[in-house]
Amino acid sequence: MAEQLQRIIDDSANIVFFGGAGVSTESGIPDFRSTDGLYNQQYRFPPEMILSHSFYLRNPEEFYRFYRDKMLCLTARPNAAHYKLAELEQAKKLCAVVTQNIDGLHQMAGSRNVLELHGSVHRNYCMHCHKAYDARFMLESEGIPTCSCGGMVKPDVVLYEEGLDEHTVRASIQAIRSADLLIIGGTSLNVYPAAGLIDYFRGKYLVLINRSPTPADARADLVIQESIGEVLGTVKV
């Protein structure tokens, strides 16, 4: 399968990577939906409730307690998958990374054109004056993070009940639509509307790299159910 993947990449000139939580778990960031993920742990409230817009407004202190504990993994570092994607971009083979992750590891590895469907923990803003704050400020704050103006500081991440950023969605659709190879990695393709973006792909090759089956496996040219870091790490650019 590694040889087949290499041949497909060699034959492609406009690659887009669409990734999910499985790309980050290999860097030690917990996955919400895996067996050991946050959705299978016990909290006072279910994680999907805590990470909703209405809960955030109604109970911000509880939201931030969970957010600091489980969402701000600032010691995580990129893995082989992140670095290989950055290398492919530098070689002008890969034109975009479309990610559901909010950790910023693709940028840390050197990728430039990263389309973050669900936002980023590294961008935070005051809901009153819109002053920007970094992730370290959020991690080191106590209770409800507060701006110098007194306003509440909100992470620029898409919560349940919130819509995706329209500009990011449009750019992602354009990238996927124009790709000749779409590599889908580390995602179960169960999170919508993000997962629906792959339906815009009309290119030559569709490759899926995920440890478990996905709804798109049947239409893929190549399916690899292995570690995405190990698989992409073997690719020669």
Active site residues: 118
| Two tokens, residue 72 | 């701000």
Residue recorded with tokens 């073997």:
234
| Two tokens, residue 69 | 């504990």
Which residue(s) pair with 154 in the sheet? 125
Report the relative pairing of strands 119-126 and 205-209 from DSSP bridges: unpaired
What is d(CA 217, CA 69) in angstroms, rounded to the nearest whole number?
34
Helix, strand or coil for residue 90? helix
Which residue(s) pair with 182 in the sheet? 16, 206
Residue type, 17: F
Burial 7-39 (b: 16+ CB within 10 A, else e): ebbeebebbbbbbbbbbbbbbebbbeebeeebe
